[in-house]
Structure 1
Amino acid sequence: MDDAPTSAETITWRPVVEADFPLLSDWLSRPHVHRYWHHDFTPDGVARDFGPGTRGDEAGEDLLVSVDGIPEALVQRSRIEDYAEDFRELSAIVDVPSGAVTIDYFVADSARTGRGLGTAIIRAIIADTWSSYPDCPAVIVPVVAGNTGSWRALEKSGFRRIGEGDMEPENPLDAPLHFVSRIDRPRSSA
């Protein structure tokens, strides 16, 4: 049975708040999440990594994604140029136009992975990106090559692979090779 959201299910999101930190700590400690989101999931680590976003001290967004009101995933969204090191690494591999956005994401429940939920969330976030970031020409996402589920979800969401190259992996277990995918702003019909 496919656990992807049906047309009757609603995907929503909101900014992460401090009260979400225990939930994020739990999610980040899960093996399938920790494998590619190699964060410190202790209470202090979560507060250090996500606290600036809750206070508005971070350029990017941390979004808690829910399906029918039940928290299911985390998405981070930001302009690439707002993070100099990321911009440098990515622009050494592909052209990064001004205003381009990137996302990072995970589905919290391993039983919900590989069933279309991640693809549905990516599609919903990308659709929102075109209105939330009106000057964004494209969304560009680097994914460590070994994270097959992640780059396949991007492909199923309409992204196309535009390059590959070495970037610093989040988890030291990973090789530096990343696949870079892109989706462009749809042309208006006007």
Structure 2
Amino acid sequence: MTGASLPEFTWRRLSAADFPLLCGWLAQPHVHRWWNHEFTPEAVERDFGPCMRGEEPGEDLLIFADAEPIGLMQRCRLTDFPEYLEDLVKLITVPTEAASLDYFIGDPQRVGRGLGPAMIRAMIAATWFEYPLADCVIIPVAAKNRPSWRALEKAGMHRIAEGPMTPDSPADDGHHYVYAIDRPGRVNA
């Protein structure tokens, strides 16, 4: 977004009415490669319905740029997902209240325009208020997903580790980079 002003980012919890849009986004090659979700209406209901209904922890958030839906952000406390945490603690020490994000921009025409880093920065800033106990945000990312980890770096996150984790996609070798950012003003013990 060089030379252009950044949009205003807003978000709300995903609703069933958003599922057709999500189906289309998950079918996009740039999303499907990394998210590896089926994109039929039934599969989207199966995968995203439980969180939407509050049956699973975390948040599935529809992200808007200047009131236009552009992508999805998932946000959670890492300790709410023990199987994921088990993989991560082999690489780093995870604080009890650490938050994590996962994200994508759905429209391929909007990828590569600086929206990803700006969207991530906006969500990290909101996380400090909406998750008041979170002392850091930690995000593992497939090492082969260069656009994603570059977006994290541009958003101000730092690579703190790398190593094997269970891949989201069978096309991946499992090698991940782990990025983190501490709550502003936090003093490391």
Structure 1 gaps, min length 5? none
In structure 2, the residue corresponding to 1:36 is in which secondary structure? Answer: helix
What residue is the counterpart of 2:127 in the other structure?
Answer: 129
- Against the structure 1 CA distance between its residues 44 and 78, is the aligned structure 2 distance closer, same or farther, given a 3 Å change threshold? same
Q: Which amino acid counterpart does residue 27 of structure 1 have in structure 2?
A: W
State whether residues 73 and 107 of structure 1, in contact with CA within 8 Å, keep that contact through their aligned partners in structure 2.
yes
- Provide runs of 4+ in structure 1 moved above 2 Å: 2-5
Whole-Å separation in 2 of the counterparts to 1:184 and 1:157: 13
Cα RMSD, aligned residues only: 1.3
1:121 aligned counterpart, secondary structure: helix
Tell me if the contact between 1:5 and 1:67 (Cα under 8 Å) persists in the aligned partners: no
Cα distance in 1 for partners of 2:12, 2:119 equals 13
Matching residue of 1:6: 5
Aligned partner of 1:84 among 82, 95, 120 = 82
Query: Which position in structure 2 is the counterpart of 1:174?
Result: 172
Equivalent residues in 2 for 1:41-60, closer than 5 Å = 41-60=39-58
Of 144, 163, 178, 1:146 maps to: 144
Rounded Cα–Cα distance in structure 2 between residues aligned with 1:139 and 1:51: 25
**Distance in 1 between residues matched to 2:169 and 2:135, nearest whole Å:** 30
Q: Normalising by structure 2, what TM-score?
A: 0.95
**Aligned residue number for residue 33 of structure 2:** 35
Q: What letter matches 1:56 in structure 2? A: G
Conserved? CA contact 1:65–1:72, under 8 Å: yes
Mapped partners of 1:155, 1:4: distance in 2: 20
Aligned length: 186
Deviation sequence 1:43-64 (CA, Å, 0-9, x none): 1100000101111111010000
TM-score, structure 1 length as denominator? 0.95
2:182 alignment partner, one of 181, 184, 187: 184
Q: Which residue identity is paired with 1:119?
A: P
Query: 1:5 deviation in Å?
Result: 6.8
Q: Secondary structure at 2:161's aligned position in 1?
A: strand
Could you list the runs of 5+ residues in structure 2 that have no partner in the other structure?
Answer: none
Q: Residue 137 of structure 1 aligns to which amino acid in structure 2? A: D
TM-aligned CA deviation for residue 4 of structure 1:
8.9
Instruction: Tell me the equivalent position of 2:161.
Output: 163
What residue identity is the alignment partner of 1:36? W
